[in-house]
C-alpha cells in the first residue's frame, strides 16, 4: 500500500537558518505529492504540491521537487522565520478518482529568534 516516511522531529532552528525536511514515499502509479502545514489549534493548510516527476512546487519561500528516481519530495526553505514554527506534513494522493491522502507522521518545527 501507499506510505509516506518523514524525518522525525522535533526540529529546532535559529531564525534565518536553512531548512530541509526529508520526505520519501511508496506508491503505485504516479502519485501527486503535497506538503501541508498545521499551526496550533488549526486545521491543515496546503503549502505546495507537485503532480508529476521533476515538478517543483513553491509557496511562501518553501520549495519541494518531485523526484521519481529517489521517490522523494523534500521540503526546503532558504531562510526560516519565527512565524514558520508549525507542524509540517508530507502527503500523497495515489491517482485521480482516489482522493484519499496518505500522510507522513508530521515534523514539528520550532524557530528560535
Residue 79 Cβ vs another protein, minimum distance, rounded to whole Å: 26
Phi, psi of 61 (to 5 degrees): 90, -10
Residue 41 Cβ vs another protein, minimum distance, rounded to whole Å: 8
Which residue in 26, 79, 98, 110 binds another protein (CB under 8 A)?
98
59 lies in the binding site for another protein (CB under 8 A) = no
Which residue in 49, 74, 107, 109 binds another protein (CB under 8 A)?
49
Which residue in 66, 84, 89, 111 binds another protein (CB under 8 A)?
89
DSSP state of 10: -
Residue 9 Cβ vs another protein, minimum distance, rounded to whole Å: 13
CA torsion sign for 44, 45, 50, 51 is: positive
Residue holding cell 524525518?
7
Residue 71 Cβ vs another protein, minimum distance, rounded to whole Å: 18
Closest CA to 72 of 96, 56, 85: 56
Closest CA to 66 of 103, 36, 87, 91: 91
51 lies in the binding site for another protein (CB under 8 A) = yes
Amino acid at each position: 500500500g501507499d506510505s509516506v516516511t518523514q524525518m522525525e522531529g522535533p526540529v529546532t532552528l535559529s531564525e534565518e537558518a536553512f531548512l530541509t525536511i526529508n520526505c520519501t514515499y511508496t506508491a503505485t502509479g504516479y502519485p501527486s505529492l503535497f506538503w501541508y502545514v498545521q499551526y496550533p489549534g488549526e486545521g491543515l493548510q496546503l503549502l505546495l504540491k507537485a503532480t508529476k516527476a521533476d515538478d517543483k512546487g513553491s509557496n511562501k519561500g518553501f520549495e519541494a521537487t518531485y523526484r521519481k528516481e529517489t521517490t522523494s519530495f523534500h521540503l526546503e526553505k532558504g531562510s526560516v522565520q519565527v512565524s514558520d514554527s508549525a507542524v509540517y506534513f508530507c502527503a500523497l494522493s495515489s491517482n485521480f478518482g482516489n482522493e484519499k491522502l496518505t500522510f507522513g507522521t508530521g515534523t514539528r518545527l520550532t524557530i528560535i529568534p
